[in-house]
Structure 1
Amino acid sequence: MQRLPGLDTLRAAAIVWVMLFHSWVVGGLGPHFGWLSRYGWVGVDIFFVLSGFLIGAQVLAPLARGEWLDLVDFYQRRAYRIVPAFAVVLALYVWAPAVREFEGLAPWWQFATFSLNLLIDYNAQPAFSHAWSLCVEEHFYVLFPLLAMGLARWRSGAALKGVALALVLGGIAVRTTLWLHDRALDPPRNWYIEDLYFPTWSRLDGLLTGVLLAALKVFRPQLWTRAQAHATVAMWGGLVMLALAFWLFRDRLAWLPNAFGWPLLSAAIGLLVFAAAGPGSAIGRWHVWGARPVASISYSLYLTHKIAFHLVQVGWGERLHGIALFGLYALAALAAGGALHLLVERPGLRLRQRRAAQRAIPAAA
């Protein structure tokens, strides 16, 4: 598959932003760098839109050709991509408590069944809690192909638009109901994280935006090509909308951003992904130095960066300060992510390629 520099740039920016945001687990970046991490949680939403676009295109491409999607092949490919590195990091969290950024860890089976984002007791079990977004992704991988095949039977653009509108309005209604309910009762737990921020049904806007972009590219390629002529306009429009979303999320716990902010934020990121998916804009053309290697190991970085931060804090937190400590955090995160990618993630991908080649031989015969 052709690598697009714009998408690599967005993926690299997303993981760096997430790591800056999660620096709070070791006390933050300090007053001089705190502004870098304020909106770092947006990095996860960038990943959601990218995933919806890239996985959506993989699922929809055979359906657009009138072929049936091989579900077994799709699920196996996702498993080879996700499970090996995740299993290794989960084993470290379970069997080596010294690497945990916090003591409390949810039961291992919540991670193994990708139900953590629905069942977690966040105040008591914050360690490895960033796996919540991987749970959302897994639910998407399981359910979206089935929904796509069902919609493909109808061959109706109106059905797709109806489902998309229902998901957006349903998300607004669900989040509003949960916010009003929990705000009134104020239960003695982190209800914002557990009921609004982590659950899959509250976080579908980004994935939906990516899927709609993929549907446009796959089912209306000529329209996609014509629209790409305006990629620069889309890029600037996305940046303006992103600024508006940031303004709306000044208070992340308020009702307005939680009701309407997520669709707005996802649409803004969607415009940036559209602009990055071709050479028609600055973000799509520029080969940012270091973006491609960071994007290549972004999954492993996501899994391991809190471990790296914690170990640096334990070993050097009292000895180094400022830029030196910040740089050591970055080097440790890159080293941990790179090691996991080279030793576990990449062999899993090679095994996936070999299995795919083996299945292709009898099919060709």
Structure 2
Amino acid sequence: MQHRGSDATLARNPGIDAVRGLSILLVVLHHLGLRMPLKASVLGGFVPARVLAALNWNGYEAVFVFFVISGFLIARHSIARWGSLARIDVGAFYVRRAARILPCLVLVVLVLSLLHLAGAADYVIAREGQSLPRAIAAAFGLHLNWYEGRTGYLPGGWDVLWSLSIEETFYLAFPLVCLVVRSERLLFVLLAAFALTLPISRAALDGNEIWQEKAYLPGMAAIACGVVAALVSARWSARAPWLARRLAMLGAAGLASVLVVEGWWWSWLGNGTMLVLAGSVACIVVGLDGSEGTRGARGFGWLRSCGRLSYEIYLGHMFVVFAIVALYKASGANAAWSFLWYVPGVALSWLLGAAVARAYSLPCERWVKRRFTRTPRRPAQPALALD
């Protein structure tokens, strides 16, 4: 595919949307599973424990899948838009990130704050050393992960914001680093080296479980892995679609193995398991990007839709989780049939995300881009083709 102007963009890739949809599904299932574990239901009698564990306990790993995909998509679109990461328009880059992130973040923090002030169960910040003003400051100051590492977990609706602190801190520095480094080859080497530090930085933080999981460096290393994948894909992937498909299959096998037999990986590699996960996702997105002309598989439209709505679902799903769990308890909390509550939990999380996107976040995003982004002038000569 050739991109002819500085305002060029990439079409959505149905395969990448599906992977992102799988990730957000695992996050929702994880937060339901913490409160209604599948192994305690009748499913535990005939579904292999490894399968139930894969469904319930991969929420953290799913966030790292998001990190890799985020790094890939943002870098890949930046290359398409400006021809090279060395020509990023810093102001436009920041506007686009703010337009996507801030509307939903402001809405969620506002609703969480009101629920805290109203004394709603599951939403009150009551842990010693924590307060509503500090939680708000941490959410908007991109250090909620650090705040939790110092003071303990916040209520679930706040807790999910930790990943934004890592991701958006990375993107504050990313365009500036691109402009300073200039050479994409050197940028590739630096980011690849940084990506390889993921297991080292996790191991160095052993002793504080919360901070080890939510520290900046491991998450940023996963994002860097996605950027490296974008640099590879932009210059290579579509030239060899047959190889791209095999790379996607290899990555899918690696990701599935980490999600299903993670214990084996951890016994062998320890923290290196997270690098295997990040590398597998990088292979998947490079391979899918090289096969971007293919249509999405039939029967998985719902999963791709979850992927397209992943940000809205991620920020809003805890409202649904708490409501579902409250209804489950009010009904008698019959653990044997708790798995039945997963269906409305997932469906309502999607519906809430879709409603927020249609009525609020997407209109806000379009308005911010129109208001604060300059219309780029088409260059006299076509930009460098990406493949």
- Superposition TM-score, scaled by structure 1 size: 0.82
Structure 2 gap segments, 5+ residues each: 1-9, 45-51, 380-387
List aligned pairs for 1:1-365, cutoff 5 A.
1-29=10-38, 30-31=40-41, 32=43, 34-35=52-53, 36-61=55-80, 64=83, 68-97=87-116, 101=122, 103-104=124-125, 107-120=135-148, 121=150, 123-127=152-156, 128-152=158-182, 155=183, 157=185, 159-179=186-206, 182=207, 191-194=208-211, 196-218=212-234, 220=235, 223-246=236-259, 249-250=262-263, 256-258=269-271, 260-279=272-291, 285-287=296-298, 288-319=300-331, 321-355=337-371, 359-360=374-375
Distance in 2, Cα, partners of 1:335 & 1:273: 27
Query: 3-12 or 162-171: which moved more?
Result: 162-171
Tell me the amino acid that sits aligned with residue 347 of structure 1.
Answer: P
Aligned match of 1:188 = none
Aligned length: 344
Tell me the CA shift for residue 303 of structure 1. Answer: 0.4
Tell me the amino acid that sits aligned with residue 168 of structure 1.
Answer: A
The verdict on how the C-alpha distance between 1:198 and 1:348 changes in structure 2, with shifts beyond 3 A counting, is same
Tell me the CA shift for residue 151 of structure 1. Answer: 1.8
Tell me, yes or no, if the aligned pair for 2:225 and 2:279 is still in contact at 8 Å: yes
Tell me the CA shift for residue 281 of structure 1. Answer: 10
Q: RMSD of the alignment, in Å? A: 3.1
Distance in 1, Cα, partners of 2:227 & 2:32: 31
Distance in 1, Cα, partners of 2:314 & 2:85: 37
Tell me the amino acid that sits aligned with residue 149 of structure 1.
Answer: L
Tell me the CA shift for residue 20 of structure 1. Answer: 0.6
Larger RCO of the pair (alpha carbons < 8 Å, separation 6+):
2
| TM-superposition CA deviations, 1:181-236 (whole Å, max 9, x none) | x2xxxxxxxx1122x11011122332122111211233x2xx32234321232123
Identity %: 23
Tell me, yes or no, if the aligned pair for 2:85 and 2:179 is still in contact at 8 Å: no
Aligned match of 1:187 = none
Tell me, yes or no, if the aligned pair for 2:90 and 2:175 is still in contact at 8 Å: yes
